[in-house]
Structure 1
Amino acid sequence: MVDRLPEGFIRTFLEENVKYSPAVIAVATGYFVASRLYRVYLGPTSVIPGNFIDNFFNLPLIYYNLPLGKRYKNFIDLHQKYGPVVRVSSQAISVADKHMIKQILHDDDLPKGRNYKAFQFEGHQTLFSTIDKDFHKTRRRVVSPAFSVKYLSALEMYMSAEVDVLNDHIRSAIKSAKQLGTEPAEVDMWQLLQRTALDVIGTTAFDQSFEMVKGGQHPLPKAISDDLSMSALRASTAGLPIISNIIDLYLKYQKSKQFDISKFMIKIIEERLKSGKRKNDILQILIDTQKAELKNDRLDNQDIVQENILFLIAGSETTSNTIGFAITHLIEYPEVLRLLREELDDLYPRDVKADMKHEDLKNLPYLNAVLNETMRLKPVAMGGLVRETPSNYLLGGKYHIPKNMLLSCAIYSCQVNPEYWPEPMAFKPERWLEDSDIPADKDAFFPFSVGSRNCIGKNFAWMEMRLILASFVYNFDIAPVPESIEGLNDLRQFVTYTIASNSYKVKVSER
């Protein structure tokens, strides 16, 4: 952050925004008030409940999202008060009904909302950020080979190597604690998991381990995190032009001081092309598109840069946070930890040395159940999956939604709805097992979204989550650190759902 805004920043803002006469401002204000009153009391969405102030202005949405990171909590409270369909701003409706969510995401496959444009780094569309369905269809077809099950199996060795680095780091901490007489060791698993996920993506995406677990200080992860935070700010203020202009000018100023991601990644691409050596990573798949017959199938160097940034973002913090939340639940529920460890010990007996293989782990029902239950209670998209109506739209057979309205699919509220989930707030992996007394409602479960915009990296994420969590539980005994338990009371979401302190320590010892 800066101590004060630079003089040029203020001058530019004034030049851009103070240029209308009082009469024009008065007319514009009158039109704004009249149009909002019509929408709230007489328009087609007036039958949808919601707070008046939320529907008249966008300010509550901005307030909860920017300084607090509590927009998701605001949405949860609104759904608890008003039901499965709620107006959350003058331009947005939140939907928590499983049938309507399926209609929006899958059956009608509505395009992503305009707020996703804020995630177009340096103006480039990507698989994640584009709102153009034709562009998405072409780009997904082109990059999908990098995420096929067959290709991912070739990347397992790289993932496993980074898991070994994580385990070695924890063992080193245990050894140090033993030497100092401070057993058991305390390690910050939240931080270690984030670092491991970054190393995994670096190695598998473009053959560049950041060595973050080993204590590396590579500037790229921080630069991308900063870019993502900036995009979240822009997305949150999209409905307020003046505030958005202030944010944009400030972010341009901040970005000028950052590590240049594009230059760094273009250098990697150019070095790969110059060497003429093929490597078994995601970058190679993208480079190979440059020889495609169809022009639209070719990714230039900037396209490759932006897609790799997407992979780094989508494949690091989202995955690491899910594993981290799983560990918090295992500590809270010792019986679940015991059952998971028992399943792993049956597969890999303690007296037989064997490397864990994803082919084995993917068939473990309880391991999968623990991860599914974690994603139900702690979904990455806690704030909702946003789509936009390209024309007047009939939702659920009864709600008439105007063109250009944002529909936010409230994944969390759906996944804890007592109509769909018995004992919805309880962490019960057994609901995912066959013949369960409280079976999971898989039609009310959207951890990787559904429809054409579902997560292309789903199989990648599953492999990484299984390998890391299984190895950690199999190799180490864990116990809570009271201060970290208290930290779980403060959760936030700006882009991904996380612990506000960005820390969760556990006591660890060798089994």
Structure 2
Amino acid sequence: MDALGSPAIGVLVVAPISAILLHEAILKRVEVDHLTLHLLATSTAVYWLTVYYAGLFFATLVATAFLVPLCLCIILYRAFFHPLKAFPGPFGARISKWWTVKQVWDTNWHWYRVQQGMHAKYGDYVRTGPRELAIFDPAAIQPLLGFKSPTTKGPFYDVMETSLHLNRDKVFHRQRRKIWDNAMKESLSDYAPHVEDFTSQLLKRLREADGKPVPLLDYCSFYSYDVMADLAFGKPMGFVKGESSQVAENVLRTLTDGLNALGILYHIPWFMNAIGILTSLAGPLKEWTDWSQQQMKERMAVKDARPDFTGHLISNTARGPKGDSLLYGDSRLIISAGAETTSTSLTFIFMHLAVHQHYLRAIRKEYRESESSYSCERSSPLLDAVIYESMRLWPSVFLASQRIAPPQGMTISGHYIPGNTIITIPPFPLNRDPRNFEQPDFFIPERWTTRPELVANKSAFLPFSTGPYNCAGKGLAMMEMRSVISRVVNEFDILLPEGFDQDVYFGGIKDRLTAGPPNQFVSFQKAK
């Protein structure tokens, strides 16, 4: 130590004290998720400056003297002294969200099954992260997600760009959502013929397949991405007709293939935020960003465009860099969120009908008996029941929306939730809870029609979420599903390959933020 000199020894004494003060004064009190890249850049710069002026050995010694006490403080605080210490849950989850990442990886993206296991083992209120609770109690839905909820969105919504969905400002969201709702209200009926036109294109492609097996998920994705691109930019991507460009195909591949990564990154938004800055500079995400921005620029430049959803957004958004950036973000939200959720929902519905052929025939009968008055805007009792039951069993979004408890905390069902706690309500375990739905693992559409006693707690069914952040595109999604399911089933039988095992198929569905169904080949054969 003498060789280091008094100033150096002083630095080594101050380093651990500074680490403890940093943790006590800032890290345990302030959310720093959005500052990851800044903190990493700053600490790296300080380290190499110390190397330059004092040598590698001393710089490493100081870094160790700072980081080891800091890590110990964080671990001990999270494990034994955190306000959430009384809530049960896996010990590893108390320490770090990397525990969750490992579970996702080890289970091959079956996090929703891990959540079910935690619910069974620990109860309705489970600590799933250093400052995170997963709540499986339906009584928490309105206090957390409802219109009068005092909660705000969690750090996940700070990632990437600003859009209607990706922001945490309640006032901004309320103002922007009003524009979206008015646009949907004014344009949805006018857009119904476009939905039917895309369905006609899909039917033509299925006829051309002439009963040969086709990849179901791909075909559903082609349809939904074309619909949403048309909604966002006034023109489709050309997938259903087989006329897509190479750039459009790259975009689709980026969005679908990237979902596996999102299934992990969702749990560590601080990391997602950091790499989001980097991926915006190069790589597949930049291609997607550049393409969508160019499409929106072209749409904004159209004179006397037909009245539509995007036109309403454009006319109600201030022009300039900030307003244009918001339109670019909203256009990407329309496609990425709207297309992926609809394609997975359609895939699951078709698979359920292929497994349960009597429902397929019943929907065909319902459609043909009311064909003269058919409209994708109107409810069809059996068809809607099949859609709801499929969405209950396999929601298109496994993501449990993050909410932050208010600083003063809140009490739900006698449980006090400390302030600034991240709270989630996982939808899959909620839908499979026998307290909410009798025979929860069985496909029984009648629970939504003639057997309402099988729905013990309807408030637990949240296919489009609830409250101020509920799905703005619910009406459009239902139009698409009604149009595609009824018209395809009217014309085709859906046949699975010989040896198909439904347990293997449904057991292969992944939690990738949205649901990830296997790309099963099925045959659409002309119905009698």
TM-score by length of 2: 0.81
Q: Residue in 1 aligned with 2:149?
A: 108
Match of 1:52 among 87, 91, 94: 91
Partner of 1:161: 197
Secondary structure of 1:385's counterpart equals: coil
Matched, 1:72 2:109: no
Quick one: which of 331, 341, 352 aligns to 1:318?
Answer: 341
Alpha-carbon distance, 1:37 to partner: 3.2
Amino acid at match of 1:289: N
With over 3 angstroms needed to count, the CA separation of the structure-2 counterparts of 1:17 and 1:494, relative to structure 1, is: farther
Q: Any residues of structure 2 matched to 1:229-268 within 5 Å, and which?
A: 229=259, 234-238=265-269, 247=275, 251=279, 255-256=282-283, 260-268=287-295
- Corresponding position of 1:496: 514
Contact 1:44/1:400 (<8 A) preserved: no
Report the counterpart of residue 5 of structure 1 in structure 2.
Answer: none
> In 1, Cα distance between the equivalents of 2:156 and 2:302?
40
Contact in 1 for aligned 2:398/2:428 (Cα 8 Å): yes
- CA pair 426-203 structure 1, distance change in 2 beyond 3 A: same
Cα distance in 1 between the residues matched to 2:119 and 2:215? 35
Q: Residue 15 of structure 2 corresponds to which residue in structure 1? A: none
Task: Name the SS for the 2:467 alignment partner.
Answer: coil
Distance 1:43 1:271, change over 3 A: closer
Q: Secondary structure at the match of 1:144?
A: helix
> What SS does the aligned partner of 2:241 have?
coil
Instruction: Please give the alpha-carbon distance, in whole angstroms, between the structure 1 residues aligned to 2:397 and 2:254.
Output: 19
Q: Does 1:328 align with 2:351?
A: yes
SS at match of 1:300: helix
Equivalent residue runs for 1:87-102 within 5 Å: 87-102=127-142
Secondary structure in structure 2 of the residue aligned to 1:45: coil
Q: Which runs of 5+ in 1 are unaligned?
A: 1-10, 175-183, 349-353
State how far apart, in whole Å, the 2-side matches of 1:267 and 1:56 are. Answer: 44
Deviation by residue 1:307-366 (Cα, 9 ceiling, x = unmatched):
011000121110111111011111222232232222223223xxxxx694224xx33111
Q: Secondary structure at the match of 2:153?
A: coil
Q: Is the 8 A contact 1:205 1:311 kept in 2?
A: yes
Q: Is the 8 A contact 2:101 2:264 kept in 1?
A: no
2:236 counterpart letter in structure 1: S
Matched, 1:419 2:458: no
List per-residue Cα deviations over 1:90-116 (Å, max 9, x = no partner): 121111110112211114152111112
- The CA RMSD measured in Å over matched residues stands at 3.0
The aligned residue for residue 376 of structure 2 is 358
Report the CA distance shift for 1:318/1:277 in structure 2 as closer, same or farther (over 3 A): same
CA contact (8 A) 1:232 1:495 kept: yes
Change (3 A) 1:134 1:14: closer
Give the equivalent residue in structure 2 for 1:452: 468
Q: Which residue number corresponds to residue 378 of structure 1?
A: 394
Structure 1 residue 117 and structure 2 residue 158: aligned? yes
Q: 1:139 aligns with which of 152, 176, 197?
A: 176
Q: State the Cα deviation string for residues 445-499 of structure 1 (Å, max 9, x = none).
A: 1111111111111111111111111111111011212457443321112221012
- Structure 1 pair 291/28, CA: closer, same or farther in 2 (3 Å)? closer
User: Following TM superposition, by how much is the alpha carbon of 1:372 offset from its aligned partner in structure 2, in angstroms?
Assistant: 0.7
Asked whether 1:508 is paired with 2:521, we answer no
Q: Distance in 2 between matches of 1:505 and 1:331?
A: 12
Structure 1 counterpart of 2:229: 202
Match of 2:396, SS state, is coil
SS of 1:146's equivalent?
Answer: helix
Residue type at the aligned position of 2:167: T
Residues 488 and 303 of structure 1: is their aligned pair in 2 closer, same or farther, counting only changes over 3 Å?
Answer: same
**SS state of the match for residue 383, structure 2?**
helix
Q: Could you tell me how far 1:38 is from its partner in structure 2?
A: 3.9
In the alignment, which residue of structure 1 is the partner of 2:219?
192
Indicate the percent of aligned positions where both proteins have the same amino acid: 23
Question: What is the Cα deviation at residue 14 of structure 1?
Answer: 9.6
SS in 2 for 1:400: strand
Q: Where do residues 417-496 of structure 1 align in structure 2 (5 Å cutoff)?
A: 417-434=433-450, 436-439=452-455, 441-481=457-497, 482-483=499-500, 485=502, 486-496=504-514
Does the 8 A contact of 2:84 with 2:131 survive in 1?
no
C-alpha change, 1:16 and 1:376, in structure 2 (3 Å) is: farther
Distance 1:147 1:274, change over 3 A: closer
Cα 1:404/1:475, change in 2 over 3 Å: same
How far, CA to CA, are the matches of 1:492 and 1:341 in structure 2?
Answer: 30
Where 1:93 maps in the other structure, the secondary structure is: strand
- Does the CA contact (< 8 Å) of 1:109 and 1:452 recur in 2? no
Task: Give the partner amino acid of 1:69.
Answer: W
Task: Give the distance between the partners of 1:415 and 1:345, measured in 2 at CA.
Answer: 32
Q: Deviations over 1:58-112 (max 9, x none)?
A: 2121223468323222222211221111111112111111011221111415211
> Are the aligned partners of 1:356 and 1:467 in contact in 2 as well (CA < 8 Å)?
no
Look up the SS of the partner of 2:152 in the other structure.
Answer: coil
Alignment deviations for residues 138-186 of structure 1 (CA, whole Å, 9 cap, x no partner): 11112222211x4201001111000001000011111xxxxxxxxx421
